[in-house]
Amino acid sequence: MLNRRNMLHGMAAGVGAAFGSTLSPLNVRAAAVKTAQPRRVIFFLQNQGFDPLTAIPKGLQESVPLSGMELAEPIRALEPYKDKMHIINGLHGLHTSPSHSAFFGALGGYRGGIGVPPAGETIDHKISGLLPQTILPHLCIGMDSLPNMRSRPTLATLSATGPGQALFMHSNPNSLYEMLFGGISTGDVKRKYEAKSKVFNQVERLARLNGKTLPAGERKRYETYVNGFRDINGLRERLVDVSDHLKQFAPEYDDGYTNPEFETDWHDRLLDIGIASLKSGIANTLTIGSGRGEIFGAWQGLGVEQQGHNLGHINQPDNEIWIKIRQYNCRMLVKLMQQLESMPEDGGTMMDNTLIVYGSNNADKQHTNGANWPFILLGNCGGNIKTGEFTQMTEKRPINALYTTLLHAIGSPVDRFNMDNTTAATYDEKVGPIEELLA
């Protein structure tokens, strides 16, 4: 049974883990100062795998430009952005041991599994610390069925700040909206925000006092909870400092938040909050987990009655259900791009300095060994990624090589990401980035 103390501990630990060490004292207005490109990266992972036949133009088996090619039906909404797209097929994740999901291994490039803690920092969090810093560099949002999002408003399965240090995804748009925009809201949202602020401030003060009397072992664990409340309070204070700026970007708080008919109502609101966090400059990296890195998920708002694990047993190519889900993903991607294109930046638009990485947390299908792990890149990452191309890998390269390439693209080159020489000797034929992707 829940009690007040457990509830507060859970809230503090959850929010502290959700932000990890990413909270920055930098004023959000610093985002307006010209710095080196690129500025932001977005990761969008759909669960149950990404069958390459739902993305690759029919009949293609070798690397070619995409011009003149017709995109597959599931991703056809991206047709107007074909010249800003790069489809990659033939990477692998054999070493991540995926089955129903690679979990943290999907973005970490290491072994994952149900209940397996992260073995290291994931690429999304790594990038968030290297891009120009903002108030909340890394925001993770997770989309699932309504019952799951309500009962587990935060969940950690995809992103991590380091070994054993998971980052939580936010899945209840009401809680996330109140946390980010409560200080500039009115009505119930404002009242809840102010009430929680008073509680958090008081609990942090009392926790610091009481924690000093605990044994050394317990004190360290207690400090985790204290730091969680400190991070909450620090974030709230920094957002208040830029409240006039945030008012320009806060999404409309409508009935879709408080009275959703379908889970997709909440999915759409979560996406709106993610877009607002990027456009306002309070975040530089957004990770979206559709299915939250697990085998669940629901899309009844699209007319899809099947849910969760059963969806993974349906072949994706030419399947009406998966066409609907993939098309929904692509409409979200188009909305992201259109919103970023609407914002001027450095003589161009925000999209000019952005990269979107679209794939899955589970290679090509639900039951997989990870032998083929396709991706779609959207945007040229400040001119550093080739676009308008389809690349079929002819060498044995792991997903880690793609993540190495992303680090090169943002100006932080490395030879490998999360792969030592022993592992690479088995799973990677080359050292360094995938040259075919770099401009």
CA distance 301 to 264: 5
- The structural domain count of the chain equals 1
Residue 121 zone, left/alpha/beta (φ > 0; ψ -120 to 50; rest): beta
**pLDDT at residue number 271:** 98
- The Cα–Cα gap between 88 and 93 comes to 14
The region of weakest confidence among 9-13, 100-104, 169-173, 187-191 is: 9-13
Measure the CA–CA gap between 4 and 98, rounded to whole angstroms.
Answer: 38
| Full domain range(s) for residue 152 | 38-179+259-437
DSSP annotation of 349: E
Residue 268 lies in a domain: yes
Give Cα 2 distance to the centre of its chain. 30
C-alpha separations of 286 from 72, 108, 152, 346, 438 in Å: 26, 16, 20, 21, 22
CA-to-CA distance for 225 and 220, rounded, in angstroms? 9
Residue linked to tokens 């949202």: 189
Residue 88 has pLDDT above 80, yes or no: yes
Indicate whether 416 pLDDT > 70. yes
Beta bridge partners of 142: 289
Q: What is the pTM of this model?
A: 0.87
Is residue 222 assigned to a domain? no
Whole-number pLDDT of residue 27: 33
Q: With contact defined as beta carbons under 8 Å apart, do 337 and 351 qualify? A: yes
For residues 386-398, give the mean pLDDT.
97
Residue 338 pLDDT class (50, 70, 90 cuts)? very high
CA-based torsion, 326, 123, 263, 331: positive or negative: negative
24 within some domain: no
Is the predicted pLDDT of residue 425 greater than 90, yes or no?
yes
Model pLDDT, residue 309: 87
| Cα distances (Å, whole numbers) of residue 401 to 217, 326, 357, 371 | 40, 25, 14, 14
pLDDT band at 210 (very low <50, low <70, confident <90, very high): low
Distance in Å from the first CA to the final CA of the chain = 56
Q: Residue 1: what pLDDT?
A: 33
The answer to whether residue 165 is domain-embedded is: yes
Provide the 3-class DSSP secondary structure of residue 63.
coil
What is the rounded average pLDDT of the residues 76-101? 96
CA distance 91 to 375: 9
pLDDT at 83 over 50: yes
Closest CA relative to residue 97, chosen from 297, 418, 291, 362: 362
List, for residues 241-278, the tens digit of each pLDDT value. Answer: 888 899 999 999 999 999 999 999 999 999 999 999 99
Rounded-to-integer distance, Cα 147 and Cα 153, Å: 10
Within a domain: 347: yes
> In this structure, which amino acid lies at residue 277?
S
Q: What is the CATH number of the domain that holds 411?
A: 3.40.720
Interatomic CA distance for residues 373 and 185, integer angstroms: 43
In a domain? residue 406: yes
CA–CA distance, 348 with 410 (Å, rounded to integer): 18
Residues 6+ apart with CB under 8 A from 281: 28, 29, 31, 32, 134, 245
**Rounded distance, CA 378 to CA 83, Å?**
9
Q: What is the pLDDT of residues 144-163, one digit of tens each?
A: 999 999 999 999 999 999 99
The CA-atom distances, in angstroms, between 365 and each of 40, 136, 234 are 29, 33, 41
Asked if the model's pLDDT at residue 48 lies above 60, the reply is yes
Q: What is the pLDDT of residue 182?
A: 86
Secondary structure letter of residue 311 according to DSSP: G
Average pLDDT on 199-223 reads: 57
**Type of residue found at 392:** Q
In eight-state DSSP terms, residue 75 is: G
> Strand (E) positions, 15-153?
40-46, 64-65, 85-89, 138-143
Least confident of 14-18, 132-136, 155-159: 14-18
pLDDT value for 169: 95
Read off the pLDDT band of 8 (50, 70, 90).
very low
